[in-house]
Amino acid sequence: MPESDLHEARDVVNALPVNGVSASNNLKRGQYDETPKTPVGATGTATNTNGSNSNNKRRKHRAAVRRSAKRRHSMSKAARDPRDEPESKAASPSRADDADVDADAMEKEAASAVATRSPSPFIDFDGLSRPSTGTRARLEENDEERAVRLEKMRGAVRTILECVGEDPDREGLLGTPDRYAKALLDFTQGYQQNVRNVVNGAIFHEGHNEMVIVKDIEVFSLCEHHMVPFTGKMHIGYIPFHSVIGISKLPRIAEMFSRRLQIQERLTKDVANAIMEILQPQGVAVVMESSHLCMVMRGVQKTSATTITSCVLGCFESKEKTRNEFLSLVGVNR
Protein backbone atom coordinates (compact mmCIF):
# COMPACT_ATOMS: atom_id res chain seq x y z
CA MET A 1 0.00 0.00 0.00
CA PRO A 2 1.33 3.41 -0.86
CA GLU A 3 2.44 5.50 2.12
CA SER A 4 -0.10 8.23 1.36
CA ASP A 5 -2.94 5.70 1.50
CA LEU A 6 -1.57 4.36 4.82
CA HIS A 7 -1.68 7.85 6.38
CA GLU A 8 -5.23 8.37 5.07
CA ALA A 9 -6.41 5.07 6.60
CA ARG A 10 -4.80 5.98 9.92
CA ASP A 11 -6.66 9.34 9.96
CA VAL A 12 -9.95 7.54 9.37
CA VAL A 13 -9.27 5.15 12.26
CA ASN A 14 -8.37 8.01 14.59
CA ALA A 15 -11.65 9.73 13.74
CA LEU A 16 -13.70 6.68 14.79
CA PRO A 17 -15.23 6.83 18.35
CA VAL A 18 -13.91 4.40 20.96
CA ASN A 19 -16.34 3.72 23.88
CA GLY A 20 -18.33 6.75 22.84
CA VAL A 21 -15.25 9.05 22.79
CA SER A 22 -13.27 9.99 19.71
CA ALA A 23 -9.80 8.60 19.44
CA SER A 24 -8.34 12.07 19.30
CA ASN A 25 -9.92 12.86 22.67
CA ASN A 26 -8.73 9.53 24.03
CA LEU A 27 -5.30 10.35 22.83
CA LYS A 28 -5.37 13.60 24.77
CA ARG A 29 -6.43 11.71 27.90
CA GLY A 30 -3.72 9.10 27.44
CA GLN A 31 -6.30 6.37 26.93
CA TYR A 32 -5.62 5.59 23.25
CA ASP A 33 -2.45 5.81 21.20
CA GLU A 34 -0.16 3.54 19.34
CA THR A 35 1.73 2.46 22.46
CA PRO A 36 0.77 -0.95 23.89
CA LYS A 37 -1.55 0.51 26.62
CA THR A 38 -4.67 -1.39 27.47
CA PRO A 39 -7.79 0.58 26.49
CA VAL A 40 -10.26 1.31 29.26
CA GLY A 41 -12.75 -1.52 29.68
CA ALA A 42 -10.66 -3.97 27.66
CA THR A 43 -10.12 -6.29 30.61
CA GLY A 44 -13.18 -5.26 32.62
CA THR A 45 -11.07 -4.01 35.52
CA ALA A 46 -12.32 -0.43 35.42
CA THR A 47 -15.88 -1.57 34.80
CA ASN A 48 -15.77 -3.89 37.81
CA THR A 49 -14.35 -1.09 39.96
CA ASN A 50 -17.18 1.24 39.00
CA GLY A 51 -19.71 -1.51 39.66
CA SER A 52 -18.16 -2.20 43.07
CA ASN A 53 -18.38 1.48 44.01
CA SER A 54 -22.01 1.56 42.90
CA ASN A 55 -22.81 -1.54 44.99
CA ASN A 56 -21.12 -0.01 48.03
CA LYS A 57 -23.19 3.14 47.65
CA ARG A 58 -26.39 1.08 47.41
CA ARG A 59 -25.46 -0.92 50.52
CA LYS A 60 -24.72 2.24 52.48
CA HIS A 61 -28.03 3.72 51.38
CA ARG A 62 -29.97 0.61 52.44
CA ALA A 63 -28.18 0.61 55.82
CA ALA A 64 -29.07 4.26 56.35
CA VAL A 65 -32.70 3.53 55.53
CA ARG A 66 -32.74 0.65 58.01
CA ARG A 67 -31.22 2.81 60.74
CA SER A 68 -33.80 5.53 60.17
CA ALA A 69 -36.61 2.97 60.23
CA LYS A 70 -35.57 1.55 63.61
CA ARG A 71 -37.97 2.00 66.50
CA ARG A 72 -37.35 5.17 68.44
CA HIS A 73 -35.70 4.48 71.78
CA SER A 74 -38.17 4.71 74.64
CA MET A 75 -35.74 6.63 76.84
CA SER A 76 -36.64 9.90 75.18
CA LYS A 77 -36.19 13.25 76.81
CA ALA A 78 -39.29 14.10 78.77
CA ALA A 79 -41.08 17.40 78.62
CA ARG A 80 -39.93 19.80 81.30
CA ASP A 81 -41.07 23.23 82.32
CA PRO A 82 -38.40 25.61 80.93
CA ARG A 83 -38.24 27.33 84.30
CA ASP A 84 -37.11 24.06 85.87
CA GLU A 85 -34.01 23.77 83.68
CA PRO A 86 -30.64 24.48 85.34
CA GLU A 87 -28.98 27.72 84.32
CA SER A 88 -26.28 27.24 81.71
CA LYS A 89 -22.82 28.45 82.66
CA ALA A 90 -20.18 29.92 80.41
CA ALA A 91 -17.57 27.47 79.24
CA SER A 92 -14.52 27.33 81.46
CA PRO A 93 -11.24 28.51 79.86
CA SER A 94 -8.92 25.79 78.66
CA ARG A 95 -5.66 25.08 80.40
CA ALA A 96 -3.82 26.37 77.35
CA ASP A 97 -5.61 29.72 77.55
CA ASP A 98 -5.30 30.18 81.29
CA ALA A 99 -2.50 28.48 83.16
CA ASP A 100 -3.90 29.60 86.51
CA VAL A 101 -7.09 27.52 86.35
CA ASP A 102 -7.72 25.85 89.68
CA ALA A 103 -8.29 22.16 88.85
CA ASP A 104 -9.58 21.36 92.32
CA ALA A 105 -12.21 24.08 92.11
CA MET A 106 -13.34 22.78 88.71
CA GLU A 107 -13.62 19.23 90.04
CA LYS A 108 -15.65 20.37 93.03
CA GLU A 109 -17.95 22.36 90.77
CA ALA A 110 -18.48 19.37 88.50
CA ALA A 111 -19.15 17.09 91.48
CA SER A 112 -21.71 19.49 92.91
CA ALA A 113 -23.45 19.70 89.54
CA VAL A 114 -23.72 15.91 89.36
CA ALA A 115 -25.03 15.70 92.91
CA THR A 116 -27.79 18.23 92.39
CA ARG A 117 -28.98 17.48 88.87
CA SER A 118 -29.32 14.05 87.31
CA PRO A 119 -28.92 13.85 83.52
CA SER A 120 -32.30 12.15 83.33
CA PRO A 121 -35.50 14.17 83.73
CA PHE A 122 -36.98 11.31 85.75
CA ILE A 123 -34.60 11.54 88.70
CA ASP A 124 -34.23 14.96 90.23
CA PHE A 125 -32.02 14.80 93.30
CA ASP A 126 -33.00 18.35 94.23
CA GLY A 127 -36.70 17.49 94.44
CA LEU A 128 -37.72 19.49 91.37
CA SER A 129 -39.78 16.83 89.67
CA ARG A 130 -41.26 17.76 86.32
CA PRO A 131 -43.29 19.67 85.43
CA SER A 132 -43.04 21.92 88.45
CA THR A 133 -42.15 25.46 89.43
CA GLY A 134 -42.82 25.58 93.17
CA THR A 135 -41.75 22.23 94.56
CA ARG A 136 -38.41 23.44 95.90
CA ALA A 137 -40.20 26.11 97.94
CA ARG A 138 -42.60 23.47 99.21
CA LEU A 139 -39.77 21.08 100.02
CA GLU A 140 -37.72 23.62 101.98
CA GLU A 141 -40.46 25.71 103.58
CA ASN A 142 -40.48 26.32 107.34
CA ASP A 143 -43.47 26.12 109.68
CA GLU A 144 -44.47 29.72 109.09
CA GLU A 145 -44.40 29.34 105.31
CA ARG A 146 -46.34 26.09 105.59
CA ALA A 147 -49.04 27.85 107.58
CA VAL A 148 -49.32 30.55 104.91
CA ARG A 149 -49.65 27.88 102.20
CA LEU A 150 -52.40 26.08 104.12
CA GLU A 151 -54.31 29.32 104.69
CA LYS A 152 -54.26 30.12 100.98
CA MET A 153 -55.57 26.63 100.18
CA ARG A 154 -58.33 26.90 102.81
CA GLY A 155 -59.48 30.15 101.26
CA ALA A 156 -59.50 28.58 97.80
CA VAL A 157 -61.58 25.61 98.97
CA ARG A 158 -64.04 27.94 100.74
CA THR A 159 -64.43 29.89 97.48
CA ILE A 160 -65.13 26.67 95.59
CA LEU A 161 -67.82 25.69 98.12
CA GLU A 162 -69.48 29.05 97.68
CA CYS A 163 -69.30 28.80 93.88
CA VAL A 164 -71.03 25.40 93.78
CA GLY A 165 -73.90 26.83 95.83
CA GLU A 166 -73.02 25.56 99.30
CA ASP A 167 -72.84 27.37 102.61
CA PRO A 168 -69.26 26.97 103.92
CA ASP A 169 -70.40 28.07 107.37
CA ARG A 170 -72.85 25.25 107.95
CA GLU A 171 -71.89 22.62 110.48
CA GLY A 172 -70.93 19.86 108.06
CA LEU A 173 -68.63 22.10 106.02
CA LEU A 174 -66.95 24.16 108.73
CA GLY A 175 -63.83 22.00 108.78
CA THR A 176 -63.90 20.98 105.10
CA PRO A 177 -61.51 23.67 103.78
CA ASP A 178 -58.85 22.69 106.32
CA ARG A 179 -59.36 18.95 105.81
CA TYR A 180 -59.30 19.15 102.03
CA ALA A 181 -56.21 21.39 101.97
CA LYS A 182 -54.27 18.90 104.11
CA ALA A 183 -55.59 15.96 102.09
CA LEU A 184 -54.51 17.53 98.80
CA LEU A 185 -51.01 18.11 100.13
CA ASP A 186 -50.93 14.45 101.14
CA PHE A 187 -52.20 13.34 97.70
CA THR A 188 -49.33 15.23 96.08
CA GLN A 189 -46.50 14.52 98.51
CA GLY A 190 -44.52 12.90 95.68
CA TYR A 191 -43.45 16.38 94.61
CA GLN A 192 -41.32 16.55 97.74
CA GLN A 193 -39.53 13.25 97.12
CA ASN A 194 -36.83 12.01 94.78
CA VAL A 195 -35.66 8.57 93.72
CA ARG A 196 -32.26 8.73 95.44
CA ASN A 197 -33.83 9.26 98.85
CA VAL A 198 -36.53 6.66 98.21
CA VAL A 199 -34.02 3.96 97.20
CA ASN A 200 -31.68 4.97 100.06
CA GLY A 201 -28.78 2.88 98.81
CA ALA A 202 -30.72 -0.40 98.77
CA ILE A 203 -28.92 -1.77 95.69
CA PHE A 204 -27.00 -5.01 96.21
CA HIS A 205 -24.51 -6.85 94.02
CA GLU A 206 -25.81 -10.44 93.96
CA GLY A 207 -24.78 -11.71 90.53
CA HIS A 208 -28.44 -12.45 89.77
CA ASN A 209 -29.46 -12.23 86.10
CA GLU A 210 -32.98 -13.69 86.05
CA MET A 211 -36.29 -11.86 85.85
CA VAL A 212 -37.63 -10.21 89.02
CA ILE A 213 -41.29 -9.17 89.18
CA VAL A 214 -43.36 -7.37 91.79
CA LYS A 215 -46.99 -7.47 90.71
CA ASP A 216 -50.34 -6.14 91.87
CA ILE A 217 -48.94 -2.93 93.37
CA GLU A 218 -51.92 -0.77 94.32
CA VAL A 219 -51.66 2.70 92.87
CA PHE A 220 -53.73 5.82 93.62
CA SER A 221 -53.20 9.04 91.73
CA LEU A 222 -54.95 12.23 90.65
CA CYS A 223 -55.75 12.87 87.01
CA GLU A 224 -54.18 16.21 86.11
CA HIS A 225 -57.02 17.05 83.71
CA HIS A 226 -59.90 16.95 86.21
CA MET A 227 -58.11 16.40 89.54
CA VAL A 228 -60.20 13.33 90.28
CA PRO A 229 -58.66 9.96 91.23
CA PHE A 230 -57.67 7.05 89.05
CA THR A 231 -56.85 3.81 90.82
CA GLY A 232 -55.49 0.46 89.79
CA LYS A 233 -52.59 -1.97 89.93
CA MET A 234 -49.07 -1.80 88.58
CA HIS A 235 -46.75 -4.67 87.70
CA ILE A 236 -43.01 -4.02 87.62
CA GLY A 237 -40.39 -6.41 86.28
CA TYR A 238 -36.70 -6.14 85.53
CA ILE A 239 -33.76 -8.36 84.60
CA PRO A 240 -30.74 -7.43 86.73
CA PHE A 241 -27.26 -6.86 85.44
CA HIS A 242 -25.70 -8.49 88.51
CA SER A 243 -27.17 -5.87 90.89
CA VAL A 244 -30.64 -6.08 92.45
CA ILE A 245 -32.76 -3.53 94.25
CA GLY A 246 -34.65 -4.07 97.51
CA ILE A 247 -38.05 -5.31 96.41
CA SER A 248 -39.90 -2.85 98.66
CA LYS A 249 -38.27 0.01 96.72
CA LEU A 250 -40.22 -0.80 93.56
CA PRO A 251 -43.63 -0.08 95.17
CA ARG A 252 -42.10 3.00 96.82
CA ILE A 253 -40.95 4.35 93.46
CA ALA A 254 -44.43 3.73 92.04
CA GLU A 255 -45.94 5.49 95.06
CA MET A 256 -43.63 8.48 94.68
CA PHE A 257 -44.60 9.12 91.07
CA SER A 258 -48.29 8.41 91.63
CA ARG A 259 -48.47 11.01 94.42
CA ARG A 260 -48.43 13.78 91.84
CA LEU A 261 -50.86 15.16 89.30
CA GLN A 262 -50.49 12.54 86.58
CA ILE A 263 -51.83 10.83 83.53
CA GLN A 264 -51.52 7.06 83.42
CA GLU A 265 -49.34 7.03 80.31
CA ARG A 266 -46.72 9.27 81.87
CA LEU A 267 -46.89 7.55 85.24
CA THR A 268 -46.05 4.20 83.63
CA LYS A 269 -43.13 5.71 81.75
CA ASP A 270 -41.84 7.64 84.78
CA VAL A 271 -41.57 4.49 86.87
CA ALA A 272 -39.87 2.45 84.14
CA ASN A 273 -37.29 5.08 83.29
CA ALA A 274 -36.47 5.83 86.92
CA ILE A 275 -35.75 2.15 87.63
CA MET A 276 -33.73 1.88 84.44
CA GLU A 277 -31.50 4.76 85.45
CA ILE A 278 -31.08 4.09 89.15
CA LEU A 279 -30.38 0.34 88.73
CA GLN A 280 -28.96 0.04 85.18
CA PRO A 281 -30.44 -3.45 84.59
CA GLN A 282 -30.65 -5.36 81.32
CA GLY A 283 -34.24 -4.26 80.93
CA VAL A 284 -37.35 -2.96 82.69
CA ALA A 285 -41.03 -3.56 82.01
CA VAL A 286 -43.97 -1.82 83.66
CA VAL A 287 -47.66 -2.50 83.05
CA MET A 288 -50.49 -0.61 84.72
CA GLU A 289 -54.22 -1.28 84.65
CA SER A 290 -56.54 1.26 86.24
CA SER A 291 -60.00 2.78 86.33
CA HIS A 292 -60.40 6.53 85.86
CA LEU A 293 -63.16 8.31 87.75
CA CYS A 294 -63.01 11.12 85.21
CA MET A 295 -64.69 8.73 82.76
CA VAL A 296 -66.77 6.89 85.38
CA MET A 297 -68.39 9.76 87.33
CA ARG A 298 -68.63 12.20 84.42
CA GLY A 299 -68.45 12.39 80.65
CA VAL A 300 -68.88 9.02 78.98
CA GLN A 301 -69.67 7.35 82.38
CA LYS A 302 -68.43 3.85 81.56
CA THR A 303 -68.11 2.20 84.95
CA SER A 304 -66.54 -1.07 83.80
CA ALA A 305 -63.91 0.34 81.43
CA THR A 306 -60.27 -0.04 82.39
CA THR A 307 -57.13 1.41 80.84
CA ILE A 308 -53.92 -0.60 80.35
CA THR A 309 -50.59 1.06 79.64
CA SER A 310 -47.09 -0.38 79.35
CA CYS A 311 -43.50 0.74 79.02
CA VAL A 312 -40.75 -1.71 78.08
CA LEU A 313 -37.06 -0.84 77.98
CA GLY A 314 -33.84 -2.67 77.21
CA CYS A 315 -34.12 -6.40 76.57
CA PHE A 316 -37.89 -6.34 77.14
CA GLU A 317 -38.17 -4.01 74.17
CA SER A 318 -35.73 -5.84 71.90
CA LYS A 319 -36.64 -9.45 72.70
CA GLU A 320 -40.18 -10.62 72.06
CA LYS A 321 -39.82 -13.86 74.06
CA THR A 322 -38.66 -11.97 77.15
CA ARG A 323 -41.50 -9.48 76.82
CA ASN A 324 -44.09 -12.23 76.37
CA GLU A 325 -42.76 -14.09 79.41
CA PHE A 326 -43.25 -11.01 81.56
CA LEU A 327 -46.75 -10.33 80.21
CA SER A 328 -47.70 -13.96 80.82
CA LEU A 329 -46.38 -13.95 84.40
CA VAL A 330 -48.27 -10.77 85.33
CA GLY A 331 -51.47 -12.10 83.74
CA VAL A 332 -51.78 -9.72 80.80
CA ASN A 333 -51.48 -12.45 78.12
CA ARG A 334 -54.65 -14.22 79.13
292 is catalytic: yes
| Cα distance between residue 329 and residue 238, in whole Å | 12
315 is catalytic: no
| Cα distance between residue 132 and residue 162, in whole Å | 29
What is the H or E stretch that residue 284 is in? strand 283-292
DSSP code, position 241: B
294 is catalytic: yes
Which entry of 31, 166, 208, 226 is annotated as an active-site residue?
Answer: 226
* Radius of gyration, CA atoms only, the chain: 35
Give whole-number Cα distances, 306 to 32, 230, 296, in Å: 81, 10, 10
Distance of CA 59 to the CA centre of its chain: 30
61 is catalytic: no
Which entry of 235, 264, 277, 315 is annotated as an active-site residue?
Answer: 264
Given a contact cutoff of 8 angstroms between Cβ atoms, the answer to whether 139 and 185 are in contact is: no
Which entry of 292, 311, 315, 317 is annotated as an active-site residue?
Answer: 292
DSSP code, position 20: T
Which entry of 224, 242, 265, 280 is annotated as an active-site residue?
Answer: 224
144 is catalytic: no
Amino acid (one-letter) located at 305:
A
Which entry of 145, 162, 206, 225 is annotated as an active-site residue?
Answer: 225
224 is catalytic: yes
Which entry of 31, 166, 208, 294 is annotated as an active-site residue?
Answer: 294
Amino acid (one-letter) located at 13:
V
225 is catalytic: yes
For the annotated catalytic residues, the residue numbers are: 223-226, 264, 292, 294
